[in-house]
Structure 1
Amino acid sequence: MYWFTCEILCYFSQLFYDGHQSLAVNLSNLVKAKPACPPSDRLFKVVSMGLKVEQETSGQKKELKAENVAPGAGIDLEFETDVQTISPEAAQYETCYVTAHKGPCRVGAFHNNGQLIATGSEDSSIKILDIERMLAKSATPVQILAQETPQQQMENHPVIRTLYDHSAEVMTLAFHPVHQILVSGSRDYSVKFFEFSKPSVKKAYKSIQEAAEVRCLGFHPSGDYILVGTQHPTLRLYDCNTFQCFVSANPADQHKGPLTAVHYSPNARTYVSASKDGDIKVWDAVSNKCVNTFSKAHDGSEVCSVVFSRNSKYVLSSGKDSLVKLWEMSTSRCLIAYTGAGTTGKQQHRTQAVFNHTEDYGKLH
């Protein structure tokens, strides 16, 4: 039975390798293939070796005994039966702290240093929280917390800033990679820059008025530029010092639907964008030109998120086809499609796919 499973997995891997991702994913879902099938040309090599042996033994019996096959002359599909797959143990995530906005929380963003997190709400407010304080509060017994003075409670409270300057739902947040600046985008068509080093600051020091609802933001690794994606298909790039706006000189470079996600590569050479039109676009970060397009990246479904790996060689995407895909930038190939999220029915809401802290796993939420 395992031999049959290995053979099927070889078929799926070959389909992925040959670029037939849609067919491979559909077949994998049909038979509930486990584990996931990475792209591989192993089946092609097996068939090639078989044809070579058949030609060399022309005129002899077609059924060859295993002992008559020279070592290394072929690949046994049962070779992996005794191999134990070693993979890192999945991490367990537990709730350590809960805070609340007056309305539903729509977005969250971590600072690059891992010490702060910001949340944005439908009630138009933004909160910045200290992660160490959250962990400390969750580890402190309730009896000790009850004995704290009002001054101590204020000093130890995880919420260090609450910002109010939007008039509608906050849809996206991004921390500046260098300075103590938080940027937000909202349904009120504005992008706002908050300098949060001073506790008394509640309002933005700079606001950019856009032509449509702001859906996504992405900082250049240096912090000198920021990408802004809106309900309008045109992707915008702003200089964070002069606030001058730049767009591609070629209108054909742009998406055909609202933007859903943008992300700079850590090496700052490229950035990617995703859209409701179903495409993922790769852009040159210097010329601001589109250099590649993954058309119908999720079989024509809306692409919900895109994010680079730390080495800038891969992109992880999620779509409303309930799949998470890992793309290799050098070959523009989908290396693997992670299935299973759509087993309970058609996806209705947007999802975000991200790498975990070690990049051993991808998470969908």
Structure 2
Amino acid sequence: MKDSEILEAMESKNAIKFKEQLYRLIISQLFYDGFQSMAVSLSSAVQAHPACPPSDRLNHIVSLGLQHEHSKMKLVSVLRTLQYNFVNFLALKKPLNKVEMLLGPGLDLEYETDVQTSAPEPALYETAYVTSHKAQCRSGAFSPDGQLVATGSVDASIKILDVDRMLAKSSPDGEMATDQQGHPVIRTLYDHVEEVTCLEFHPRDAILASGSRDCTVKLFDFSKAAAKKAFKTLSDSDQIRCMAFHPTGDYLVVGTNQPVVRLYDTNTAQCYVCSFPSQYHTNAITSLKYSFDGKLYVSGSRDGSIKLWDGISSKCVGTISQAHEGAEVGSVTFSRSGKYVLSSGTDSSVKLWELSSLRCIIAYTGAGTMGKQEHRAQALFNHSEDFVMFPDEATTSLCCWDARTAQRKQLLSLGHNGAVRYIVHAPSTAAFLTCSDDYRARFWYRRNPH
């Protein structure tokens, strides 16, 4: 073959590869802009594989290309150059913080089209430890460093467990290791008189906050082994349903059976509420979460709506009405970037909302064999935000999707004999906790394969 023929073949291959990339960008942009049918048709026509997630990357590239286009330079050439230098562009635009260096940048559909997941699928996790209460277990939490977990029960008790001890207990020589380290349950706390409904670790200090049907939030200093009682109590007029710490730990938002979100100063115990009653929910608050920078918090309600609140003024800055077709909102949580909120409803649907436009850009479907749920369940990201997880109430199995493409992954049987009432993932490792009406909490972990 002549040199000219080889060169021509190479150029042809590059042209094909470039067209494939361009088609993927177009398909992702169509999904992102809400033209699902067109995107699906084009995806089938060009046999796009793997599936293309919603992304605004093409819009960014074209905008940059138009800004830098010279009079004799074609836009296609600009696009090609920008694609080759896109990684460098992102590095300059957004340097990685410590969390991103450890876990990756997380979900950001503005720029992503092709992302290789490095985290293990949740279906590969195994039960590493099981702890039992004397009644239904309905709340749980991980400490910010992932070294501790807490469980709460209808029996009004709280347990704090050490992750390393649980892992040692489940290792081949677990009994010997546990004898040397001690029992996994390092604290058992009794200061509530009714069901413990929610738990949150302080982001900086050795403090565990617990909410209860006894209308109180209690703060425990778990660094003191002898301290079984709370050192501070926040009393409310109704049963506590959910709560979340501000990233500094100075404030705590609390949701009750009332439609008004409470904001407590954890140092002074003063309570604040939004001064505009028209912005309140119209039914009980079911879920609360702060964004990672503390600028916003989000609430879900039994009234079926999701509201965004300014983290300083507590004014409502956005409302998603009928987020789950009128069904009760079961959970809300921010992505690490703060650009998205993941929500679940008692209609068994899971949705990803773009905050800049307050629209649903991905729906994760196929969970809930019976359709409507009897109990609320949480949708959550894994630690790297590569996967979305959601427990199926009827089958007590874990549904999982690719966070970017919404492709269903393998189911995981959770091994509980009752409904899973709470699920929470570890902040930086492949581990999660399930709490069930069978009185048990299971700690799940993915060990490094040998």
TM over 0.5: yes
The change in CA–CA distance for 1:200 and 1:274 in structure 2 (over 3 A counts) is same
Q: Which amino acid aligns with 1:280?
A: I
Superposition TM-score, scaled by structure 2 size: 0.62
5+ long unaligned stretches in structure 1: 1-9, 22-33, 42-70, 72-83
Q: Could you say what secondary structure the match of 1:95 adopts?
A: strand
Q: Answer yes or no: is the 8 Å Cα contact 2:207–2:221 preserved in 1.
A: yes
Q: Answer yes or no: is the 8 Å Cα contact 1:274–1:303 preserved in 2.
A: yes
5+ long unaligned stretches in structure 2: 1-25, 38-48, 57-75, 77-113, 392-450
Query: Is 1:354 the equivalent of 2:386?
Result: no
The whole-number CA distance in structure 1 between the counterparts of 2:34 and 2:175 is 62
Deviation, structure 1 residue 344: 3.6
**1:109 equivalent among 128, 141, 144:** 141
Deviation, structure 1 residue 286: 1.1
Q: Answer yes or no: is the 8 Å Cα contact 1:38–1:335 preserved in 2.
A: no
1:237-284 deviations in Å (ceiling 9; x for gaps): 000110100000101111000000000000111110000000000000
1:28-71 deviations in Å (ceiling 9; x for gaps): xxxxxx99885589xxxxxxxxxxxxxxxxxxxxxxxxxxxxx9
Range moving further from structure 2, 324-333 or 88-97: 88-97
The change in CA–CA distance for 1:278 and 1:15 in structure 2 (over 3 A counts) is farther
Deviation, structure 1 residue 144: 3.5
**2:217 equivalent among 191, 207, 210:** 191
Q: Could you say what secondary structure the match of 1:112 adopts?
A: coil
Deviation, structure 1 residue 191: 0.7
Q: Cα RMSD over matched residues?
A: 2.9
Q: Could you say what secondary structure the match of 2:131 adopts?
A: coil
1:91-132 deviations in Å (ceiling 9; x for gaps): 411100111111111111001111111000010000001101
Hey, which bits of structure 1, 4+ residues long, moved more than 3 A?
Answer: 13-21, 34-41, 84-89, 142-146
Q: How does 1:48-67 map to 2 (within 5 A)?
A: none
**2:325 equivalent among 299, 313, 316:** 299
Query: Is 1:211 the equivalent of 2:237?
Result: yes
The change in CA–CA distance for 1:208 and 1:87 in structure 2 (over 3 A counts) is closer
The sequence identity of aligned pairs, in percent, is: 55
Deviation, structure 1 residue 142: 6.0
Match of 1:235 in 2: 261
The whole-number CA distance in structure 2 between the counterparts of 1:115 and 1:250 is 41
Q: How does 1:282-321 map to 2 (within 5 A)?
A: 282-321=308-347
**2:171 equivalent among 125, 133, 139:** 139
Q: Could you say what secondary structure the match of 1:119 adopts?
A: strand
Deviation, structure 1 residue 228: 0.5
The whole-number CA distance in structure 1 between the counterparts of 2:251 and 2:186 is 26
Structure with the greater alpha carbon radius of gyration: 1
Deviation, structure 1 residue 350: 1.0
Match of 1:128 in 2: 160
Which structure has more RCO (C-alpha within 8 Å, separation ≥ 6)?
2
The whole-number CA distance in structure 2 between the counterparts of 1:354 and 1:256 is 25
Range moving further from structure 2, 164-173 or 306-315: 306-315
Deviation, structure 1 residue 140: 4.3
The whole-number CA distance in structure 2 between the counterparts of 1:143 and 1:202 is 27
Query: Is 1:247 the equivalent of 2:279?
Result: no
Deviation, structure 1 residue 137: 1.2
Q: Which amino acid aligns with 2:202?
A: H
Q: Answer yes or no: is the 8 Å Cα contact 2:211–2:242 preserved in 1.
A: yes
Q: Answer yes or no: is the 8 Å Cα contact 2:34–2:361 preserved in 1.
A: no
**1:274 equivalent among 300, 309, 316:** 300
